[in-house]
Every structure is written in structure tokens, then in C-alpha cells.
């Protein structure tokens, strides 16, 4: 599945999840949106509240999320691997196989302030990319089967075209 495909499926999944989670009415046009164009572009590594994807040199990927700056999270990953501290599935994979991640090619998959929604997006991303992800199986165990069905259906249709 290409990046464009992921964008479409996650727009759908976010809509479903928002219906389930949203408790307060939000106006469609906010002051924030009006003034967004005036802001200077933030370096991707300075962004917070992200779901990110780190590629490994072997072609596999690791998907994680953080509320802190991406730059700080990547430093922690780097430190865990350097100190041979298997705190995450990425560190475990790299230590076990003597691989190195390509941190400079880290991608932001989603930006979401709400922790619960961010965790959902992380799980859905891991499930969608599970064939190449080094993440632990437990990372997707709380993803409802209906979402897995949507992802599987979409992935199957994409592979047919």
C-alpha cells in the first residue's frame, strides 16, 4: 500500500474513531485555522503528538507514538540501541540482529493531540503495516476486529488493482 492509500484509509478510520470518542461540539472554522497560514513551518523533528515510522536498514519498520518532540523520542531510541537496552521492539530488533535504524528517514504518519486517538492510530498503522513492522504483537491486540476488517478489506482491494 502506498502513502496515498494510507492517507485515505486513515481519514476513514479517524472519522469512525472521532464519532466514538468526540464528546464536545467543535466549530468547523476556528481562529487557529484562519491564522495557520501565518505560522512558519515547523521542522518535522520538532513536532509533538505524532505517530511516526522509523525504517531499519534491513527494510523493516518500527511504528511508535509520542506526545513529546519527535527529536527527543528519536534520541531515546538511539540511546536504547547504543546502550543495548531492549526497552522497545525497535531496540530489541536492532540489538538482536545488529541492525541500525535510518533515523533521518523517519516519517510522521499522523499528528494527534488526544492520547487515546493517537494510540488508536498507532495500533491501526502497525496492523496495516504488520508484514514489515518489527513491533510486538501486543501493540495491536486492543484494535477492534471491525477496524482490522476495514484495513484487511482495503489492503486486499489495493493489491488487486
Output 92 or 114, the one with its CB closest to Zn ion: 92
Find all residues with CB under 8 Å of 151, minimum gap 6, and list them: 9, 13, 124, 127, 128
- Comparing C-alpha atoms, which of 157, 134, 136, 161 is closest to residue 9? 157
| Minimal distance, residue 91 CB to Zn ion, in Å | 11
Residue in this structure with the C-alpha cell 521542522, named with its chain if needed: 43
Residue from 48, 58, 111, 150 binding Zn ion (CB under 5 A): 58
Output 9 or 63, the one with its CB closest to Zn ion: 63
| Minimal distance, residue 67 CB to Zn ion, in Å | 26
Whole-angstrom Cα distance, residue 87 to residue 124? Answer: 22
Q: Which stretch binds Zn ion (CB under 5 A): 6-14, 26-34, 53-61, 143-151?
A: 53-61
Residues 30-49 that bind Zn ion (CB under 5 A): none
| Minimal distance, residue 58 CB to Zn ion, in Å | 3
| Residue 110 parent element (H or E) | strand 107-111
| Minimal distance, residue 101 CB to Zn ion, in Å | 7
Whole-angstrom Cα distance, residue 70 to residue 84? Answer: 21
| Minimal distance, residue 54 CB to Zn ion, in Å | 10
Residues 116-155 that bind Zn ion (CB under 5 A): none
Whole-angstrom Cα distance, residue 12 to residue 131? Answer: 22
Per CB under 5 A, 12 contacts Zn ion: no
Residue from 56, 124, 126, 128 binding Zn ion (CB under 5 A): 56
Residues 81-100 that bind Zn ion (CB under 5 A): 99
Q: How many CB atoms lie within 10 A of CB 159?
A: 8
Whole-angstrom Cα distance, residue 108 to residue 27? Answer: 27
Amino acid at each position: 500500500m502506498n502513502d496515498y492509500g494510507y492517507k485515505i484509509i486513515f481519514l476513514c478510520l479517524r472519522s469512525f474513531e472521532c464519532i466514538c470518542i468526540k464528546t464536545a461540539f467543535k466549530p468547523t472554522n476556528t481562529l487557529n485555522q484562519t491564522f495557520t497560514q501565518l505560522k512558519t513551518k515547523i521542522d518535522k523533528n520538532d513536532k509533538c503528538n505524532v505517530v511516526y515510522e522509523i525504517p531499519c536498514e534491513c527494510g523493516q519498520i518500527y511504528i511508535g507514538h509520542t506526545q513529546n518532540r519527535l527529536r527527543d523520542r528519536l534520541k531515546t531510541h538511539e540511546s536504547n540501541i547504543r546502550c543495548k537496552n531492549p526497552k522497545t521492539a525497535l531496540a530489541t530488533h536492532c540489538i538482536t540482529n545488529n541492525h541500525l535504524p535510518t533515523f533521518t528517514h523517519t516519517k510522521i504518519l499522523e499528528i494527534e493531540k488526544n492520547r487515546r486517538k493517537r494510540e488508536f492510530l498507532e495500533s491501526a498503522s502497525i496492523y496495516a503495516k504488520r508484514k514489515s513492522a518489527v513491533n510486538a504483537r501486543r501493540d495491536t491486540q486492543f484494535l477492534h476486529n471491525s477496524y482490522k476488517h476495514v484495513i484487511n478489506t482495503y489492503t486486499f482491494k489495493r493489491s488487486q488493482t
